[in-house]
Amino acid sequence: MSLTLVHSGKVRELYDAGEGRLLMVASDRLSAFDVILAEPIPDKGRVLTAMTVHFLHELADLAPSHLITADPDQLPKDAAELGGDAGLDGIAGRAVLVRRAEMLPIECIVRGYLAGSGWKEYSTSRTLHGMPLPAGLEQASRLPEPMFTPSTKATEGHDLNISFDEAADLVGKEMAEKARDLCVEAYRRGAAAAERNGIIVADTKFELGLIDGELALCDEVLTPDSSRFWPADEWRPGINPPAFDKQPVRDLLEGSGWDKKPPPPPLPPEVVTETSERYIAAYERISGRRLADWYGAAR
């Protein structure tokens, strides 16, 4: 097989497809607290891929991307071997052919609401990412403006929050400003589109890279894995809204007494099913399309 494995992550495998291209295959694996759980989530990989493709098309006038195609018929011929006995059907809808990029060594996080670690920080110091916020905000409050809160890309362990100046030290001031402006605008547009369809994007993480010298959107974009999604009709400040992402799984594991080290506790079958349903619902509500119409999905 001419495809060479370049990297195996918590969720995706990357293969060298030659000619400056990579084949990116999203699995159904679910990770929590940087540990891969034993139970795959049905259709999760297809949701992540379909959602990313949807938003890359929606944001195409804002920035280029690494995407070449998600059409299984246009993938390298050896890609079929990655699907095992199922051939191309085994990876259809989970695999995309992309251009190689020189990735920025930072995670570009944009927060529109006070949640998660951001809420924990604010509740003790009235700051978010070290920056002061108005008094009187509550959990899940909408921030006055979306905030760019970068972090490192840790090869082991957890990513570390860094200031904008520290991000500028890593990538240069001009590039950090371009990354900030691009990600904040991509968040604004993506969040507005999602909210029109009844979902709040509380925060999200982008990954950017340089392709032919131009800053491009790469990896996954505004997915349930890279974002915090809330139902708009159930949101109000002061409570932690129900989520369309993997937060309920995190909450379950955190309440189990698990020490967040391998091996993780097993997920009950109903939790696996409910998680799959949440991912699919997020995609279908935001995109206005049925997952059943996506490549490789059960019809």
pLDDT of residue 202 exceeding 60, the answer is yes
Q: Could you read off the pLDDT of 161-182 as tens digits, one per residue?
A: 999 999 999 999 999 999 999 9
- Residue 245 confidence class, pLDDT cut points 50, 70, 90: confident
3-state secondary structure string across the chain? CCCEEEEECCCEEEEEEECCEEEEEECCCCEECCEECCCCCCCHHHHHHHHHHHHHHHCCCCCCECEEECCHHHCCHHHHHHHHHHCHHHHCCCEEEEECCEECCEEEEEEEECCHHHHHHHHHHCEECCEECCCCCCCCCEEEEEEECCEECCCCCCCCECCHHHHHHHHCHHHHHHHHHHHHHHHHHHHHHHHHCCEEEEEEEEEEEEECCEEEEECCCCCCCCEEEEEHHHCCCCCCCCCCCCHHHHHHHHCCCCCCCCCCCCCCHHHHHHHHHHHHHHHHHHHCCCHHHCCCCCC
Inter-axis angle of helices 173-196 and 44-58, nearest 10: 110
Amino acid 155: pLDDT = 60
Distance between CA 299 and CA 206 in Å, rounded?
A: 31
- Percent of the residues in the chain that have a pLDDT greater than 90, as a whole number: 91
Q: Taking residues 109-126, what's their average pLDDT?
A: 96
Amino acid 121: pLDDT = 95
Q: Taking residues 123-131, what's their average pLDDT?
A: 95
Lowest-pLDDT choice from 149-158, 173-182, 262-271 = 149-158
Predicted TM-score (pTM) of this structure: 0.95
Amino acid 2: pLDDT = 77
Domains and CATH numbers, the chain: 1-100 (3.30.200.20), 102-247 (3.30.470.20)
Amino acid 159: pLDDT = 78
Amino acid 158: pLDDT = 67
Lowest-pLDDT choice from 47-51, 150-154, 226-230 = 150-154
pLDDT of residue 247 exceeding 90, the answer is no
Tokens representing residue 28 in the block: 């159904």
In whole numbers, what is the pLDDT of the chain averaged over residues?
A: 95
- Residue 191 confidence class, pLDDT cut points 50, 70, 90: very high
200 - beta bridge partners? Answer: 230
Lowest-pLDDT choice from 23-27, 35-39, 154-158, 190-194 = 154-158
